[in-house]
Amino acid sequence: MMGTRRGLILDRDGVINVDINFLHRIEDVVFVDGIFDLVRAAKAAGYVVVVATNQSGIGRGLYSEAQFQTLMAWMGEQFVAHGGAIDRVYFCPHHPTEGQGEYRCDCACRKPKPGMFLQAIAEFDLDPAQCWTIGDNWRDVEAGANAGVANRVRIDPTGTPVHQARGHWVAPTLAEIQRMMGL
């Protein structure tokens, strides 16, 4: 049965915050320009907003799940303070070759596999045909494609104009993506 709700599925590093590789400390967070406006507008338009993020730093032993959860709770508070909210955060701590112990596995949730997306679709009764996903690399848009998400956008801040490439959109800014979504 097809869901009924619209969703916005965001990658974290490179979309919500500037990607510094293995971000896990609040003091290192720099938000990407436009992320608060995008989430506030999406929520106002009735979208469910979730984060789906690979976090192999946990599996590699670079930081703990507790540190990740603390950071994400703080980030969630920042969205609320800016008039928006994240409905849920999905994360994959696994890595097939670099993970340690139980974290070394070829799981169904690590993007480009669609596990996190499918979980969000099921839990929030989302209609993939009415969903958008935004990521900063091929794994993000491929995970969206693998989950049947109709609208997939890769943010590429190098300044190239909006265009289509390999079945997804490419846009230079979150403000441009917000316009694409009609928000």
3-state secondary structure at position 134: strand
Centre a 10 Å sphere on the Cβ of residue 61 and count the other Cβ atoms it contains: 12
Residue in this structure with the two tokens 């703990």, named with its chain if needed? 64
By annotation, the residues acting in catalysis are 11, 13
Q: Which helix (H) or strand (E) holds 118?
A: helix 115-123
3-state secondary structure at position 90: strand
Check residue 123 and report its DSSP letter: H
Closest to 52 (Cα-Cα) out of 20, 21, 81, 13: 13
How far is the first Cα of the chain from the last one, in angstroms, to the nearest whole number? Answer: 28
